[in-house]
Amino acid sequence: VIQAVFFGICVLTDLSSLLTKGNDSQEQERQLKKLISLRDWVMAVLAFPVGVFVVTMFWSIYIYDRELVYPKLLDNFIPAWLNHGMHTTVLPFVLIEMRTTHHQYPSRSCGLAAVCTFAVGYILWVCWIHHVTGVWVYPLLEHLSPGVKIIFFAAVTIIINIFYLVGEVLNNYIWDTQK
């Protein structure tokens, strides 16, 4: 969903940019700048770190033991192409976007705070779903003791923050005007 929303914002930004090109309206220019800022923020804080996290974690766990993250039973409901759409194509598309479009990252402290807020919110949502239904969204969590779950959730939050920093460094490297 994050990727779909992000790339929808990208398309809207590109269309708005094309439609306002050559137009001297300061209001349209101001609105376009807001849209570009939103696009850049979503890329920096959500699309890149969450996208890279999903791909690396999903396939790492899948290779180790697919039943922990994507039980074979799901093959009856979710076709392989859709699984790859959710867990594979995210990475090349987000890397292509980073290479083709310069994104202005927020200050590091604001970016990391936003990533942490998202990670904690998502973890709380996963725990809430378990509380209400009695089922863990990710089968891996069924095998962890409460203490290990806390360590796992803390590690996940740290990893996604590392991916934020990787995205910032990669963006700065790609778009270094000194080169």
Q: What does the domain layout of the chain look like in residue ranges? A: 1-177
The vertex-171 CA angle with 170 and 174, nearest 5°, equals 85
- Cβ burial 34-72 (10 Å sphere, 16+ → b, else e): ebbeebbbbbbbbbbbbbbbbbebbbebeeeebeebbee
Can you state the angle between helices 26-42 and 2-20, rounded to 10 degrees? 160
Q: Each residue's pLDDT tens digit in the chain (179 positions)?
A: 999 999 999 999 999 988 888 777 888 888 999 999 999 999 999 999 999 999 999 999 999 999 998 989 999 999 999 999 889 999 999 999 999 999 999 999 999 999 999 999 999 999 999 999 999 999 999 999 999 999 999 999 999 999 999 999 999 999 985 55
Asked if 3 and 87 count as a contact pair (C-beta separation under 8 A), the reply is: no
